[in-house]
Amino acid sequence: MPELTVSAVLCDMDGTLVDSNALVDVMWNEFAGAHGLDGVEVRAFAHGRPSRATVARYLTDDAEIREWLDRIHTMETSRFDGVVEIPGAAAFVEALPDGRWALVTSALAGPARGRLSAVGIDLPEILIGADDVEHGKPDPEGFARAADLLGVEPGECVVFEDTDAGIRAGQAAGCAVVVVGDNRSSVTEGLLRADDMTQVGVRIDGDRIVLTLPEPD
């Protein structure tokens, strides 16, 4: 089985550690319905991107943008029904050394902490939310900042991601990338992948993290 040896692990949240698709779909369906938009198109664009980027794509009035960002923030912080752990996620992060992994998510930092806690995943020391960066995924800012805060070079990190936007961000930061889930696109071609986190083994070798991954398809 393939092995990947790194100094630190950078994880996306939604679709990688937490399955919040039900919540996200409801949230963006409400937004699309209120503006006469195609819900499928809106959800596809929103996947893996900060909420502010999605709202700003479809709305132009500053006051309305602020109103909807507030509404979405309220939804994210108050609705946890249907939010579940991606299989193996809690055990995976528990196996990582303290201070050697970070979360980099397109969700706001507060709701991200709430989702992790809701499914029983311990919070990392470093959590980068959409409100912690100027440029969201696919920009590499979040992953580059997480590596810096962990005290390692991006090239010594692996990113676990499920979306094209997140994968591009990890690659642009200079990290190795592992695809989680069933996303298959031109962006994921040739990358190592795992159906979920039960397929990722962790072994500590001195100050290095050795990850075991499934054989490529």
**Domain containing 199 — which CATH number?**
3.40.50.1000
Residue 145 included in any domain: yes
C-beta neighbour count of 199 within 10 angstroms:
17
Both 27 and 11 in one domain: the answer is no
Both 9 and 67 in one domain: the answer is no
What is the SS3 assignment for 210? strand
Residue 72 included in any domain: yes
Both 116 and 183 in one domain: the answer is yes
Both 72 and 95 in one domain: the answer is no
Residue 217 included in any domain: no
Q: Which pLDDT score, from 0 to 100, does residue 4 have?
A: 97
Q: Which of 12, 19, 139, 164 is catalytic?
A: 12
Q: Which pLDDT score, from 0 to 100, does residue 86 have?
A: 95
Both 168 and 126 in one domain: the answer is yes
Residue 109 included in any domain: yes
Catalytic site residue 217? no
* Closest of 216, 215, 213, 214 to residue 9, by C-alpha: 213
The residue from 57, 78, 99 where one domain ends is: 78
Write the DSSP string, 5-30.
EESEEEE-SBTTTEE-HHHHHHHHHH
Both 95 and 178 in one domain: the answer is yes
Both 11 and 105 in one domain: the answer is yes
Rounded Cα distance between 136 and 120, Å, is: 26
Catalytic site residue 61? no
Tell me the CA distances in angstroms from 57 to 32, 42, 54, 158, 164, one per residue in order: 12, 9, 5, 30, 18
Residue 195 included in any domain: yes
Both 87 and 67 in one domain: the answer is no
Verdict on whether the full-model pTM lies above 0.95: no
Residue with tokens 């369906």: 29
Beta-carbon contacts of 37 under 8 Å, excluding residues fewer than 6 positions away, are 31, 58
Q: Which of 14, 19, 139, 196 is catalytic?
A: 14
Q: Which pLDDT score, from 0 to 100, does residue 81 have?
A: 67
Domain that holds residue 110: 3-19+83-212
Both 148 and 64 in one domain: the answer is no
Number of domains in the chain: 2
Q: What region does 152 belong to: left with phi over 0, alpha with psi -120 to 50, or beta? A: beta
Residue 143 included in any domain: yes
Both 190 and 119 in one domain: the answer is yes
Walk along the chain (217 residues) and give the pLDDT tens digit of each residue. 899 999 999 999 999 999 877 777 888 898 999 999 999 999 888 877 888 889 999 999 999 999 998 888 787 777 666 688 999 999 999 999 999 999 999 888 988 898 899 889 999 999 999 999 999 999 999 999 999 999 999 999 999 999 999 999 999 999 999 999 999 999 999 999 999 999 999 999 999 999 999 998 7
Both 40 and 125 in one domain: the answer is no
Q: Which pLDDT score, from 0 to 100, does residue 163 have?
A: 92
The residue from 56, 78, 100 where one domain ends is: 78
Both 65 and 88 in one domain: the answer is no
